[in-house]
Structure 1
């Protein structure tokens, strides 16, 4: 499912226009990104939680040449599915 299909699904499920559904989705994505950038954790009961983890710098290998390369440290977004979402999928 891509963004346009998700907007269509939100609009039909919630009885909103596509424009309102797009605004709601964009607001959710923006608020989520802002909170994660500050280091906050977002927990949606039954759906799951988003958090940020720090990945340490490490040494990797270029698979073509075998030469070692330095991989910089960075923050990564993690998602852990909630019980209801896991149950719906299984």
Structure 2
């Protein structure tokens, strides 16, 4: 499903215009990003949890020169699925 299909689905189910659905989706995205920035965590009820985690410095290799390099520590987004999402995924064929 792409964004336009999602907006159509939301609009028809909520009986609102696609423009209104798009605005809600934009506000939701802003809220999620603000929460992640402020609290490093955001829970999507019944779906899972987004969080910002620190990835430690590690060794790597330059693919062109094959020389070893240090990859600096950085923050990365992570997602942990809920029990409900895991159960649903296990039933998909």
Structure 1 window deviating more from structure 2 (8-17 vs 24-33): it is: 8-17
* 1:4-45 residue CA offsets vs partner (Å, 9 max, x unmatched): 222222222222211111111111111111111123321233
1:62 aligned onto 2:62: yes
Number of the residue aligned with 2:76: 76
Gaps of 5+ in 2: none
Task: Trace 1:38-53 onto structure 2 (pairs within 5 A).
Answer: 38-53=38-53
Cα RMSD (Å) of the superposition?
1.7
CA distance in 2, matches of 1:13, 1:76: 34
TM-score by length of 1: 0.83
Long gaps (5+) in structure 1: none
* TM-score, structure 2 as length reference: 0.81
